[in-house]
Amino acid sequence: MQDRSEKRPASVADLIEKAGENGANAAILIPAASVVTASWVVWKCRYGCEDFGRTHTCPPHSPTRKETADLLQEYETALLIQADRSFRVRYLAYFLEREAFLSGYYKAFGMGAGPCRLCDSCDVRAPCRRPEEARPSMEACGIDVYATVRRHGLAVTPLKDENEAQHSFGLVLLQ
């Protein structure tokens, strides 16, 4: 009988395949050290996003850029994921984090895109009602999504019209 503590992690190829089966347009393995953090990112949340301060996963309740930079130093690899809608990326980040964890990547942690929409409303004065699923977005944690994505050859441009196709990104830190 195999000791579960010695379970070998699933291959990254398996996780990438699961990402595609569940709605990702792209999923690539990247070095965690290549993820770019910047102070200005959270300022864009603070001054420009109507959800600032309204959810447990948005600033000022989310991890700071400094905390995120420190966290990234504890990882070697991450899975960068892209889908057409932020809600799909949020789902994929949670789903792939769970799949990775159950497959042996015990440090797996996912970050989605955009504000959390798991509940109809969020009372930040009370504990999160769905902490097992709620994850912060990359941008809420001070990650420069544009620089990180472009660094890995994926296309990303600002939307000029709300009818344009979205290119939302998420990240699953693996090991």
111-122 confidence digits (pLDDT tens): 999 999 999 999
For residue 121, which of 75, 65, 55 has the smallest C-alpha distance?
55
**Residue 42 or 159, more confident:** 42
Cis before 63? omega within 30: no
Would you state the structure tokens that stand for residue 11, as one six-digit string? 């291959």
pLDDT at 9: 61
Residue located via tokens 């660094």? 151
- What mean pLDDT do residues 151-161 have? 91
For residue 103, which of 29, 43, 15, 41 has the smallest C-alpha distance?
15
**Residue 4 or 154, more confident:** 154
Tens of pLDDT, residue by residue over 11-45, are 999 999 999 999 999 999 999 999 999 999 999 99
pLDDT at 4: 52
- What mean pLDDT do residues 131-136 have? 94
| Residue 93 · residue 110 · CB < 8 Å | yes
- What mean pLDDT do residues 100-107 have? 95
pLDDT at 8 over 60: no
φ and ψ of 75, to 5 deg: -125, 150
pLDDT at 14: 95
Q: Can you give the residue ranges of every domain in the chain? A: 8-154+165-173
pLDDT at 1 over 50: no
- What mean pLDDT do residues 132-159 have? 95
Would you state the structure tokens that stand for residue 100, as one six-digit string? 């990775």
User: 151: buried, middle or exposed (CB in 10 Å: 19+, 13-18, 0-12)?
Assistant: middle
| Residue 145 · residue 138 · CB < 8 Å | yes
Residue located via tokens 């709605």? 23
